[in-house]
Amino acid sequence: MKNLKIFTGNCHRPLAEEICKYLSIPLEPAKVKQFPDREVQVEIGTSVRGDDVFIIQPTPAPAENWFELFLMVDALVRSSAGRITAVLTYCGYTCQDRKDKPHVPISIDVMATIMSAIGVKRVILFEIHNETTIGFFHPCLVDHLYSTPVLIPVCQELEINEKDWVIVSSDLGRAERTRGFARRLSPNFPVASIDKRREDNGRVKVMNIVGDIKGKNLLLFDDMIRTAATLIEDIEALKEKGAKKIISCVTHLNLTPGAVERIIASDIELVVATNSLPFSPPIGHEKRFRIVSVASLIAQAIQRVHENKSVTELYVQIPS
């Protein structure tokens, strides 16, 4: 394989630039813009013949982020790129990963099928909602990275210890991953879980807290915050059960309008999250948020894939 080259769309250019800085290579030129009617236009600004190409592109809403990725892949294929790897620091539509009612699509399957059909050979995913989603990307090769290597040092810096703290899984479905996270802090770190039920109106209701949290500080572990409505309900339920200080530790801040204001108005002490997605300036300056960069982790994964080395050391194995 020839040269390592990195491209990006418009979603999160600062992260792509930071990754390139770690790799000591330039971010390659590409024009990704819209016509007046909002159709996406892509033009690759350099030769890629035979090169090992990586496209860094989170894919939150709007759907243009997916279309930018698709059209960049097609442009690179038509420019004779050697191998194309999509680096999705956030993969949209992964919550739509099952046919849970009649007459609905499995949306992430659609996106993954398109990627493999147009020429993506490998995908680097970062902390997806459900690991079974990886199967939809076949025949693409997939490397799945976890946020634990960048979040654990922050927890240690905040002196989160097994004596005064309990790590709480946001729901029973994430309990196993939460236990794995806790064991990396300490083998005997106490863990609790929130038992929830989804009601007919789509809202999530807290039914029970599994575990002893009374008089303890809590680290609430989840993969994503969107509206923050569920987070607020979790906080209120945990406070009612006697929790003291609560910190939220998440990978993705995919915040909708009003979410920041809800978090600031809540009883939460701090939200620790990665920069897998772009965030608005108020978050960067708000003391209630602690943003941790994933650029070094992603850069190491890209370097290992390019050199055909194992990426396993960057994985965070979740103990059973």
Instruction: Give residue-wise pLDDT tens across range 148-179.
Output: 999 999 999 999 988 899 999 988 778 888 89
Q: Name, in order, each residue with C-beta under 8 angstroms of 278's C-beta and a sequence gap of 6 or more.
A: 11, 12, 14, 15, 58
Collapsing DSSP to helix, strand or coil, 39 comes out as coil
Number of domains in the chain: 2
Nearest to 3 by CA among 120, 82, 103, 77: 82
pLDDT of the residue at 206? 72
Residue 38: which domain range?
4-146+295-314
Please indicate, yes or no, whether residues 198 and 67 belong to a single structural domain of this protein.
no
Collapsing DSSP to helix, strand or coil, 303 comes out as helix
Please indicate, yes or no, whether residues 205 and 223 belong to a single structural domain of this protein.
yes
Is residue 225 one of the residues assigned to a domain?
yes
CA atoms of 274 and 248, how far apart (whole Å):
12
Nearest to 55 by CA among 118, 133, 99, 109: 118
Is residue 319 one of the residues assigned to a domain?
no
CA atoms of 51 and 177, how far apart (whole Å):
37
DSSP H helices in 43-123: 64-78, 107-118
3-state secondary structure labels for all residues of 146-185 = CCHHHHHHHHHHCCCCCCCEEEEECCHHHHHHHHHHHHHH
Please indicate, yes or no, whether residues 112 and 160 belong to a single structural domain of this protein.
no
Residues belonging to the active site: 196
CA atoms of 238 and 169, how far apart (whole Å):
12
> In which band, very low, low, confident or very high, does the pLDDT at 204 lie, cut at 50, 70 and 90?
low
Is residue 191 one of the residues assigned to a domain?
yes
Q: Is the pLDDT of residue 32 over 90?
A: yes
> In which band, very low, low, confident or very high, does the pLDDT at 320 lie, cut at 50, 70 and 90?
very low
> In which band, very low, low, confident or very high, does the pLDDT at 318 lie, cut at 50, 70 and 90?
very low
- Which residues are registered as beta bridge partners of 289? 271
pLDDT of the residue at 99? 86
